[in-house]
Amino acid sequence: MTMVLNRENLDRISRRLREIGLPQTLMVDIVGEARKVDGDYFYVSHRMRVGNEPMEVSLGFQERDDGHFMPGLVGFSLPESQRSLYLFPLSDLNVQEAYNMIQGRAVWRPAGLDSENDYWLRLEKDRSFHGLNMPVKVDSRLSVRKWLGESPLAGVLGSEGKERIVADLQAGDRVDLGHLMGKRAGMYFLEARPEKNGVELRNGYGKALDIDEFARGHSPTLLKHRR
């Protein structure tokens, strides 16, 4: 059966590319593969850099009974470290969030209007689905916004900085807090740890620091990401 390439189907695929964070130029490859595929499933791959590493993204497409093709599994792999992550078709994670998850960090997902059902996802080393590494829910009620509002950092972060930190931590980013201490400059990072129901502060060497002590001695300013 020849796969159907109508406008509705192509628009759906185009939206999927935007959601994942992939270039629209991939539509050329997708249409080309759909026209020549001999079967009901095909893949299109794309190489890009995320953080400081090369990443390969593989998009699977499945043919339906009516001939239309729908997005299937999405695979993200880091060739240099030989680590990977696979997502089901309806997952709404993007490239950066997938990268953060492969690095071992958790990513927050909203549950619509009912914030009580918001949840965190992360990779578990010993859990897979048919041999594929897929994210699982973390048993946690961590609210980054509430944590920041109640933490000692609340007094030294402006409202704009706080909202940006919330969004970045929820996306699984390591948030870089820059500060000046006399003429000495240091690098400090916040990271959401939903499995511990909190957020950790670490220095550039990965050592966990006491947030109360840090807040008393410094005036951190949001600078940039280190991903």
Measured between alpha carbons, how far is 106 from 192 in angstroms, rounded to an integer?
7
What single string gives the DSSP state of each residue in 138-200?
Answer: E-----HHHHHHHSGGGGTS-HHHHHHHHHHHHTTPPEEEEEEETTEEEEEEEEEEGGGTEEE
The per-residue pLDDT for 112 is: 67
- Bridge partners (DSSP) of residue 62 are 41, 70
Alpha-carbon Rg for the chain in angstroms: 21
The per-residue pLDDT for 113 is: 61
> For every one of its 227 residues, what pLDDT tens digit does the chain have, with 9 covering 90 and above?
556 678 888 888 898 899 899 999 999 999 888 888 777 788 899 999 998 899 999 998 887 777 677 777 889 999 888 888 988 766 788 999 999 999 999 999 887 666 677 899 998 776 666 567 888 888 888 999 999 888 887 766 666 678 888 999 999 998 887 643 333 345 788 899 999 999 998 887 888 888 888 777 655 444 444 44
The per-residue pLDDT for 55 is: 95
